Structure 1
Amino acid sequence: MTVTGSSSHDRAGRWSALDGWLADHADLWQPAPFSTPAPDWCRWYPGLATFLEGLTDAEVDAFEADSEHLVARLSAWLPTIDRRRALLDLPDLAGDSLALPETRAVDMPGRKRLQAGAFAAALRALEAPVLDWCCGKGHLARTLAPHAPGALVGYEWDPALVADGNALAARYGDPVTLVTRDVLDPDMSWSPACHGVALHACGDLHRRLIEQGARHRWPRLSIAPCCFHLTRHPDYQPLSQRVREQRRLEDLSRETLRLAVRETVTAPARIRRQTRRTQIWRLGFDALQRHVRGEDSYLPVPPHPTRLNDAGFAAFCHWAAERKGMTLPPDTDLEHWLALGRQRQSQVRRHELLRHLFRRPLELWLVLDDALYLEEQGYTVTLGTFCERHLTPRNLLLDARLAS
């Protein structure tokens, strides 16, 4: 059965179904392949592990691009995975793009221009006054300006971005004013009535708008959430009473929350090559450090300085060992560990295929918590997608209006 989520009752049922489904499959997606070379599911489903690890690179590419095809193939081992499609069904809120013309989209990357235009189109009629939350240079505010009933304000903590954004607005005559404001400041003053809009405000930033916007009874909140793991809390803190009291899904650490936003649009080939090389180096060092320490456990290593990018695997290993207080034996065969890193990177990519089937369900679970909270605060909530995933995978729109 497809659950549309068009009403409060349906939304609560959707969240409950997702919560149970994610909890039932937690052992498949909570262990991170990067840090867990042999997750328990490989023993429970040896045929599944053999299938995934036997895929060619071309087959991995195809499954990464078509998750539904992968679901169909994996259902032989995991029959209940077929419920995924119905759980993710959402209304399409997209309209005709309101993107700024390229001639006016100065300092605005092309994909961001189109995302802002799609977000603006999905909001339809705007309330007054409009506040662009965590606005950067005010690209969204400038996109909304021709369709807003009055002047717009934007909040941004970086004074340099505020100055650049105000200069852009003045240059093109946009009725937009950006203000330097730390929205996480507990002493921040709040306007009594705004239409708060936030396009990809990360983690605690969009949750702050949801909580405090509701507390101050703002008439409308329109939010595309992003980066749920960027929070001050070590573990996920639900907003809604329903989720706090009824959830089965536990152990949502920052690292687990990161899974919800792991999917990205295709990166340039150069960036993909750099990312792959970095993964191989880190996985090679991980295998090495387990051997040297005599302890089969993951050892987190901080991001390496860019100067090491061209220095090679050996330099990276010595840098990483020093950072972790280790001394590598002088006879260490680094080519052996580099080869193991390549093997592990291939395995990780294939194990990630299974884990990534749970990215969108987890993301929707998190956004449904926000939606249920706003309903508990007296809002009527619309939840759907504002653009295709190829434009941005973070395409969920939470549009809440305070009930009169």
Structure 2
Amino acid sequence: MTLPPRRSLHDSGSPFHRQWRQLDEWLRQHRSFWQPAPFMDPEPAWTRDLPGMQQWLEQLDERACARYEDDPGALVAALEEWLPGLVDRERLIAVPDWRSDAEASLAFTLPETRATDMPGRKRLQSGAFAAALAPLQVPVLDWCCGKGHLARTLAPHCPGPVTGLEWNAGLVADGNRLATRFGDAVTLRCEDVMVADPGWPDRVHGVALHACGDLHRKLMRDAVARTQPRVSFSPCCYHLTGALPYRPLSSLVSGDPGRLELESNDLRLAVQETVTAPARVRAQTALVSQWRLAFDGLQRQVRRVNEYLPLPSHPKHLVNEGFAAFCRWAARQKGIELPGNVSLEEWLDHGARRLQEVRQQELVRHLFRRPMELWLVLDYAIYLEEAGYEVRLGTFCDRELTPRNLLLDATRGGN
């Protein structure tokens, strides 16, 4: 397949490129505050370089940490004494707001009576996504569609039938049953979109709501290769990629000799915000984090090596079996023999103290989550511009509905 010619933006004054360059420089200047992960490194270098800031963080209790996590602007104001460069953060991450008012967004949201098997947040996210894309002018292809919730949301507003591609046959079958039941002009097909040719229809508008990592990158590449008239997506899970160090898509970014070089942990930073997680899930996550930090301290002592050992994802049943079972599992994973007289209660206390330290120190790191995400998404926007698309980038819903609320919308040929 012959790719369309790339359009040079070096002299175009692309706003996306200007914003990306400013973000790249800012992130490089502040690298020492976002690259070390306090979960792995108990004493990031900045805690010694800026003892006043470290002392201020140490006095924050759990309620204060929660308040600053929810209000990055207040945290920036509090830390500017030590990090004056933070004053540029809001300007650097500014993008247009495409959120519709409640009444307009509701007009594009599936009624609850038709939203069978559709989680409430997904229903509202899909409605807000659809409202931001209106009007739809060509048939739609829902990429990585699951049960087709987004496809069914878009169908009443689409000038032609909606096709969905999904690799899980069970989800495809369920989605087609739902479409038939409610009379939606939606057909889901069982396709692995990561293969060379996943079977695109001709001339469609490719969409994806929270396609992960290489899945949304493949959507862009395929749309460009087929010169599709429109592609619109909200990206997620940037770290899920088979190519590390991370490879930017655009010629301008990949060809910049001084740009950031990003590894998996850097990419994970962009998706660490969890404002939508239920309280029960957050409590369970905190418990397991305490266990992992407790075991980290224990393994450093047992091995007499002061370094972090990453653990794989734990079996879910361990949450109900307690810390001792978790330690036995973790030790087996790393080939460590634990002493018989180890005091698990003392290490649990150590884990609790470390968890509070991590939460305090991560406040600084988390100020760079959105800048890192936008660094990545601006590269996507530049890539699509280079391919001849007119590109819009903005937010389609409140961050309380989903922190992954960025939407890229690219059109060509007047569509």
Question: TM over 0.5, yes or no?
Answer: yes
Of 306-315 and 285-294, deviating more is 306-315
Q: Which residue number corresponds to residue 188 of structure 1?
A: 198
Alpha-carbon offset, residue 403 of structure 1: 4.1
Q: Which residue number corresponds to residue 53 of structure 2?
A: 48
Distance in 1, Cα, partners of 2:174 & 2:199 = 24
**Alignment pair present for 1:400 and 2:410:** yes
Alpha-carbon offset, residue 268 of structure 1: 2.5
Distance in 2, Cα, partners of 1:305 & 1:22 = 36
Of 297-306 and 99-108, deviating more is 297-306
**Alignment pair present for 1:104 and 2:114:** yes
1:371 to 365, 381, 385: 381
- The 3-state SS of whatever aligns with 1:221 is strand
Q: Which residue number corresponds to residue 3 of structure 1?
A: none
Alpha-carbon offset, residue 312 of structure 1: 2.0
Q: Which residue number corresponds to residue 77 of structure 2?
A: 72
Distance in 1, Cα, partners of 2:276 & 2:231 = 30
Distance in 1, Cα, partners of 2:223 & 2:340 = 59
Alpha-carbon offset, residue 267 of structure 1: 2.5
* Structure 2 alignment gaps of length 5 or more: 1-11
- TM-score, length basis structure 1: 0.96
Q: Percent same amino acid at aligned positions? A: 56
Distance in 1, Cα, partners of 2:325 & 2:296 = 15
- The 3-state SS of whatever aligns with 2:292 is helix
2:258 to 235, 238, 248: 248
* Structure 1 alignment gaps of length 5 or more: 1-6
Q: Which residue number corresponds to residue 306 of structure 2?
A: 296
Distance in 2, Cα, partners of 1:389 & 1:403 = 32
Q: Deviations over 1:125-159 (max 9, x none)?
A: 11312101111111111111111101110101111
Distance in 2, Cα, partners of 1:278 & 1:162 = 34
Q: Deviations over 1:311-348 (max 9, x none)?
A: 22222112211111010112222222111111100000
- The 3-state SS of whatever aligns with 2:394 is strand
Aligned 8 A contact 1:19 1:247 in 2: no
Alpha-carbon offset, residue 168 of structure 1: 0.5
Q: Which residue number corresponds to residue 96 of structure 2?
A: 91
Aligned 8 A contact 1:383 1:397 in 2: yes
Q: Which residue number corresponds to residue 119 of structure 1?
A: 129
**Alignment pair present for 1:321 and 2:331:** yes
**Alignment pair present for 1:156 and 2:166:** yes
**Length, aligned pairs only:** 398
Q: Deviations over 1:287-333 (max 9, x none)?
A: 01011111111101112222322322222112211111010112222
Distance 1:267 1:287, change over 3 A: same
1:306 to 287, 312, 316: 316
Aligned 8 A contact 2:24 2:260 in 1: no
Distance in 2, Cα, partners of 1:101 & 1:8 = 44
Q: Residue type of the partner of 1:39?
A: P
Distance in 2, Cα, partners of 1:59 & 1:140 = 38
Alpha-carbon offset, residue 8 of structure 1: 6.0
**Alignment pair present for 1:355 and 2:360:** no
Distance 1:249 1:53, change over 3 A: farther
**Alignment pair present for 1:169 and 2:179:** yes
Aligned CA-pair RMSD: 1.3
Aligned 8 A contact 2:253 2:259 in 1: no
Q: Which residue number corresponds to residue 224 of structure 2?
A: 214
Q: Which residue number corresponds to residue 15 of structure 2?
A: 10
- The 3-state SS of whatever aligns with 2:409 is strand
Aligned 8 A contact 1:118 1:386 in 2: yes
Distance 1:118 1:8, change over 3 A: farther
Q: Which residue number corresponds to residue 6 of structure 2?
A: none
Q: Deviations over 1:269-304 (max 9, x none)?
A: 222221111011100000010111111111011122
Distance in 2, Cα, partners of 1:180 & 1:194 = 18
Q: Residue type of the partner of 1:19?
A: D
Distance in 1, Cα, partners of 2:72 & 2:299 = 34
Distance in 2, Cα, partners of 1:344 & 1:249 = 33
**Alignment pair present for 1:57 and 2:62:** yes
In the TM superposition, what are the counterparts of 1:26-45 in structure 2 within 5 Å? Answer: 26-45=31-50
Distance in 2, Cα, partners of 1:269 & 1:190 = 40
Alpha-carbon offset, residue 247 of structure 1: 5.8
- The 3-state SS of whatever aligns with 1:297 is coil
Aligned 8 A contact 1:137 1:162 in 2: yes
Distance in 2, Cα, partners of 1:290 & 1:250 = 31
Alpha-carbon offset, residue 234 of structure 1: 2.6
Alpha-carbon offset, residue 233 of structure 1: 1.6
Aligned 8 A contact 2:212 2:235 in 1: yes
Q: Residue type of the partner of 1:274?
A: Q
**Alignment pair present for 1:262 and 2:267:** no
Distance in 2, Cα, partners of 1:129 & 1:271 = 38
Of 246-255 and 8-17, deviating more is 246-255
Distance in 1, Cα, partners of 2:323 & 2:170 = 38
2:249 to 231, 239, 242: 239
Distance in 1, Cα, partners of 2:357 & 2:114 = 46
